A and B are shown apart, each in its own frame.
Chain A
Amino acid sequence: MDAAVTNPPAGNVEDIEIQLLLEALFLRYHYDFRHYARTSIRRRLRQARDQLGFPNFSAMQEEVLHDEDMLSRLLDYLTVQVSEMFRDPSYFLALREKVVPHLRTYPSLKIWIAGCSHGEEVHSFAILLHEEGLLDRTIIYASDINPAALEIARSGIYPLDRIATFSRNHQLAGGKSSLADYYTTAYDRAVFDKKLRAKVVFSDHSLVTDEVFTECQLVSCRNVMIYFDRPLQDRAVGLFRDSLTRRGFLGLGSKETLRFSEHADSFTDFVREEKIYQRTDA
């Protein structure tokens, strides 16, 4: 993909610095943020600059080029999304009631959770599939570009003070069990049962630079593409389309849409109000 073409007002030093920094990250580490939505990446970079104590982005660029440890610190600012288990319970309720009946018809299932961050959604899917008797026949692919986030997802450990929200969401999502069945507490942390992750394959995969790696019946990618510009969204949706089986499902965040996508014709609304789409035969 070509570098982002932007036309900053002449002489806007910060814009120039941001563009150079993103180029440096790509050239040095092959992390490509050049097509991230400008307003969001600017906010996140400024946060990183201020909290990591840099006077400006040029100083940050020098540091990150010469010190790999700075990359992982920067990645946390640029990629990490703290989510909740069963976030937007109505989404999971729609999956349970409308998508699961279709999934039941497959002898084996593959589900891809793209941009899984700390793994809250991975665990939510595992619990829902377990409740519906489908977990044993499912492989869940959970991908993210941030190795540190994948580590947390793999551990299945969350602060105990988040559990009340998780439990409430789980019940609103039509939970058929108690969330407490799936975790043990240790000090101020909840440790989720490793059986939930037995069928999960965690992988370092980039929607920006990597390709299709499997065929699956369902892709869930929520509130990841709001950080992309439109050409990059098109690339990601193209990957999802090419990964999905005929009539496979794609779930997006509640305020994301395929309306503006060049791949809009490849999908139809399945549960419109929950942004669950189905791949067409086209």
Chain B
Amino acid sequence: MTGAAPRAIVIGASAGAVQALSDILPRLPADYPVPILVVVHVPAAPSGLTRLFAAKCAVAVVEPDDKERIAPGTVYFAPPAYHLMVEREGTIALSTDEPVLFSRPSIDVLFESAAESFGPELLAVVLTGANEDGARGAALIEQAGGSVLVEDPASAYAATMPAAALARCADARALSLDSIADHLLGLGAA
């Protein structure tokens, strides 16, 4: 991957997500040039994630409304009990369709829609998790010419999700959380 910034970054995380994201998102500057969309598996209750990270981060952290236009310097968390997707024109699309792999929000659903909307101009990050959500979507992103980074299963809180993504993506790179954060910051140093 060159230093050219993608149109969007998509991140999926499950068990251990808060700790892993805490090593990445707070390091991004307020003027970070790429919008970031995040799916974390949470119980279908009001999500404290947005509040938690808004307090820790320089970038804006929001739980988007349907049809909101994604913008740089902003992290978008999937609302509890909705699938988060993104349209070609860069607007948020939410859905209350059935869970996928028992998950709503689903990482695969976000990754698939982002792959179709942004093709090669997309970076996906698969973090810690105890299930296989995200592997199928990451493979689609790779097929569409996008890049995939995966948290190193050896050091991840839960190795299943990153290992599943690595198994499906030939070109994915396994990195430590610090290296993932460095890579994201590098994209902003255009």
Contacts and interface: CB of A to CB of B under 8 A. Distances in A.
Given A43-B109, A226-B66, A257-B65, A38 B94 contact: no
Interface stretch (B18-26, B81-89, B178-186): B81-89
A259 to B, nearest CB: 7
Interface in B86-100: 86-88, 93-98
B6 interface: no
A43 B65 contact: no
Given A81-B96, A227-B95, A40 B85 contact: yes
Main secondary structure of the interface of B (DSSP, over half): loop
B94 A226 contact: yes
Interface string A198-224: 000000000000000000000000010
Nearest to B96: A223
Nearest to B79: A255
B188 to A, nearest CB: 27
Contact of B86 (A39, A43, A44): A39
Contacts of B96: 81, 83, 223, 226, 253
B121 interface: no
A226 B93 contact: yes
A36 B135 CA distance: 28
B113 interface: yes
A38 B89 CA distance: 11
Interface string B93-130: 11111100000000001001100110000000000000
B111 to A, nearest CB: 12
Given A254-B79, A255-B79, A255-B82, A40 B66 contact: no
B97 A40 contact: yes
Given A223-B96, A255-B79, A233 B67 contact: yes
B133 to A, nearest CB: 16
B66 A39 contact: no
A43 B67 CA distance: 17
A128 to B, nearest CB: 21
A230 interface: yes
Nearest to A77: B97
Given A255-B65, A255-B79, A255-B82, A43 B97 contact: yes
A150 to B, nearest CB: 19
A134 interface: no
A180 B113 CA distance: 42
B87 A226 contact: no
Contact of A39 (B63, B64, B79, B113): B113
A74 interface: no
A187 interface: no
Nearest to A40: B95
A256 B85 contact: no
Contacts of B94: 226, 255
Interface in B40-87: 63-68, 79, 82, 85-87
A21 B97 CA distance: 21
Given A44-B97, A227-B95, A233-B67, 13 more contacts: A37-B93, A38-B93, A39-B85, A39-B86, A39-B95, A39-B116, A40-B85, A226-B95, A226-B96, A230-B67, A253-B66, A259-B65, A260-B67
Interface of A: 37-40, 42-44, 81-83, 223, 225-227, 230, 233, 253-257, 259-260
5 contacts: A39-B95, A82-B98, A226-B66, A253-B66, A255-B63
